[in-house]
Amino acid sequence: MNLKEQLHKIYGKLGPGGRSLASFVYSSIPLRFRKKKGFWKYLDFLRSTQWQSSEWHFDFQKEQLKALLHTAANSTDYYRQLFKQNRLDPKAMETLECLRQIPILQKETLVERLNDFLPSNFPKNQLISNSTSGSTSEPFKFKQDYYAVMREEAFSVRHWENAGMTFGEPSICLRSFIPENAGQNHLFDRVNNRHYFSAYNLDEKNIKSYFEKITKLGADFIFGYPSSLEIFSDYLLETGRILKFKAAVTGSEMLSSNARIKIESALNTKVFDWYGLAEPTVTMGQCKQGNYHVFSEYGYLELLNAGDHPVTRQGEVGRIVGTNFTNFALPLIRYDTKDLGVFTNQKCDCGRGTPVMISSIRGRKDDLLIGADGQFLPSVNFYSLFAKMGGEIKRFQLIQNDRNKFCLRLIRGPEFSETTINKIVEGLNRRIGGRPQFNIETVEKIAPSKSGKIRGVVREFKLAPEEKVIFDEN
């Protein structure tokens, strides 16, 4: 256990008063001294590299790939065996295109053989435990390099700065806070100068109190899950209340165009969406032009079709496969994120050299519903259906229980009528095809998952290994 984990363990054993005092003392230290010199040096590096040319980023990735392959081939049992079985010579892989010779890594393999991915010579005192949120299954626990965690934060800070935020200034966060006690809906993180509000209790009473407290705090930046900020924004728009932020940063869920419109309207701001995973693979963020820039210093992104070939046509849908350059404690090469993106060859005029190759995120492949013709149905198809019924339906959750069975939960809007259900079923039938069976429930609240996210589209059944499903590009 390294020093940081030891301190966290000691902190966790303190009572409320002790934790409060420890936070106060630590937060009183100026931010520039709380972070190690290596953090500030790396952040300065990222601040400058984003403005380097696309050629610089291409060359940088080639050098990072060489170092990654060297570590993987010489220090991990998994890749040593993989390269031998596939007769691959890592030393001969000098271009990014050579990566295609390496089989794509699935999460199931990583979970089953996790110890085989850990470099045998990696310093144990530099390892930090981490885990996924478990929003789609049980949380997956893994190890990260201490310096990789530091770099991860630097990438986040660069994204915030690109949205106009000064690192350390007050902010609001409507995500990542799990209340320990009933009625505890607000937590002030003194160290990071951030006010957390629970995403688990977004009813009218609590949202009203959130609004009143946020108004008094006067912070200029807000972070949140798209679903949480959308619910909060619905309340503001319905009640005519006004809030104004300089920027809203969303992440960890697919951001629909309708949710973006609501958030930007209710909060009088611009949304800067962020894409990343708990397992270090690839990450990207929107600039002020609204384009998603792949952070090429972090990892290499491939967008592949169902045949594992690169997508090349404007608007074509592919799944995101990532190779990470920051966490050598767990080398991940061609890791299938199971997220889908829409390809673009659009150029961004913001001046950054980091590539733009994805116009929007379609969500997780595992959450895409399957139509009667065997095609994946993009989640956006269903979000757009209910977006047109804003006055009739406030919120929905569509669950595919089996190939032909669906559960639909609805929160009624003020304009809900007897014809609403008929319009919904007609719209769903048109999108799904065949003769789907619907169990429709009207509810007061749709419960969030364990991680605090509210998933609008969920597929509960898994495909059999021999079943193949193709992408619907519409």
Q: Residue 380 is part of a domain; what is its CATH number?
A: 3.30.300.30
For 378, the domain range is 368-471
Is the pLDDT at 345 greater than 60? The verdict is: yes
- Look at residue 27 in the predicted model and tell me its pLDDT: 57
Angle at which helices 226-239 and 204-217 pack, to 10 degrees? Answer: 90
Residue 376 lies in a domain: yes
- Contact predicate 329/118, CB 8 Å: yes
Task: Tally the domains of the chain.
Answer: 1
Structure-model confidence comparison of residues 257 and 351, the more confident one:
351
Is the pLDDT at 414 greater than 50? The verdict is: yes
Question: Considering only CA atoms, which of 456, 390, 377 is closest in space to residue 423?
Answer: 390
pLDDT digits (tens, 9 = 90+) for 353-375: 999 999 988 776 666 788 887 77
pLDDT digits (tens, 9 = 90+) for 107-161: 889 989 988 998 888 777 777 776 665 444 445 677 788 888 889 999 999 999 9
Residue 417 lies in a domain: yes
- Look at residue 388 in the predicted model and tell me its pLDDT: 78
pLDDT digits (tens, 9 = 90+) for 162-174: 999 999 999 999 9
Longest dimension (CA), the chain: 67
Q: Are strands 284-286 and 247-251 parallel, antiparallel or unpaired?
A: unpaired
Distance of alpha carbon 143 from alpha carbon 15, whole angstroms: 28
Query: What is the arithmetic mean of pLDDT over 396-424?
Result: 89
The band of 451, judged by pLDDT with boundaries at 50, 70 and 90, is low
Distance of alpha carbon 24 from alpha carbon 342, whole angstroms: 45
Residue 222 lies in a domain: no
Give me the percent of the chain exceeding a pLDDT of 70: 84
- Which tokens is 128 given? 């930090």
Residue 281 CB contacts under 8 Å (≥ 6 apart), including other chains: 299, 322, 323, 324, 332, 335, 337
Query: Which DSSP state fits 273?
Result: E
**Angle at CA of residue 259, ends 256 and 263, nearest 5°:** 140
Residue 256 lies in a domain: no
Distance of alpha carbon 339 from alpha carbon 342, whole angstroms: 10
Residue 102 lies in a domain: no
Query: What is the arithmetic mean of pLDDT over 379-392?
Result: 76
Is the pLDDT at 201 greater than 80? The verdict is: no
- Which tokens is 408 given? 């639909």
- Look at residue 362 in the predicted model and tell me its pLDDT: 79
- Which tokens is 88 given? 């691959």
pLDDT digits (tens, 9 = 90+) for 426-441: 888 888 888 889 999 9
Bridge-partner residues for 342, per DSSP?
317, 360
The band of 466, judged by pLDDT with boundaries at 50, 70 and 90, is very low
Neighbours of 21 (CB within 10 A): 12
pLDDT digits (tens, 9 = 90+) for 283-301: 999 999 999 999 999 999 9
- Look at residue 8 in the predicted model and tell me its pLDDT: 56
- Which tokens is 71 given? 């570590």
Give me the percent of the chain exceeding a pLDDT of 90: 45
Residue 444, judged by CB atoms within 10 A of its CB (0-12, 13-18, 19+), counts as: exposed
Is the pLDDT at 177 greater than 80? The verdict is: no
Structure-model confidence comparison of residues 391 and 275, the more confident one:
275
Residue 199 lies in a domain: no
Structure-model confidence comparison of residues 85 and 338, the more confident one:
85
- Look at residue 274 in the predicted model and tell me its pLDDT: 95
pLDDT digits (tens, 9 = 90+) for 25-83: 665 666 676 778 889 999 999 999 999 999 999 999 999 999 999 999 999 999 999 99
Query: What is the arithmetic mean of pLDDT over 192-198?
Result: 91
Rg value, the chain, Cα:
23
CA atoms within 13 A on the CB side of 14: 14
The band of 310, judged by pLDDT with boundaries at 50, 70 and 90, is very high
Is the pLDDT at 474 greater than 80? The verdict is: no
Give phi and psi for 397, each to the nearest 5: -145, 120
Q: Supply the DSSP string of 24-65, one letter for each residue.
A: HHHHTS-HHHHS-HHHHHHHHHHHHHTTS-HHHHHHHHHHHH
Distance of alpha carbon 323 from alpha carbon 65, whole angstroms: 9
* pLDDT winner (highest mean) among 25-34, 444-453, 459-468: 444-453
Residue 385 lies in a domain: yes
Query: What burial letters (b/e) apply to 57-67, b meaning 16+ CB within 10 Å?
Result: beebbeebbee
Distance of alpha carbon 363 from alpha carbon 350, whole angstroms: 26
- Look at residue 134 in the predicted model and tell me its pLDDT: 47
- Look at residue 313 in the predicted model and tell me its pLDDT: 93
Question: What number of residues does the chain have?
Answer: 474
Residue 404 lies in a domain: yes
Query: What is the arithmetic mean of pLDDT over 398-410?
Result: 90
Contacts for 440-444: CB closer than 8 Å, 24+ residues apart: 440/408, 440/410, 441/407, 441/408, 441/409, 441/410, 442/409, 442/410, 442/411, 442/412, 443/409, 443/410, 443/411, 444/411
Question: Considering only CA atoms, which of 275, 35, 269, 244 is closest in space to residue 156?
Answer: 275
Give phi and psi for 16, each to the nearest 5: -55, -40
Residue 459, judged by CB atoms within 10 A of its CB (0-12, 13-18, 19+), counts as: buried
Query: What is the arithmetic mean of pLDDT over 220-230?
Result: 92
- Look at residue 373 in the predicted model and tell me its pLDDT: 73
Query: What is the arithmetic mean of pLDDT over 223-250?
Result: 92
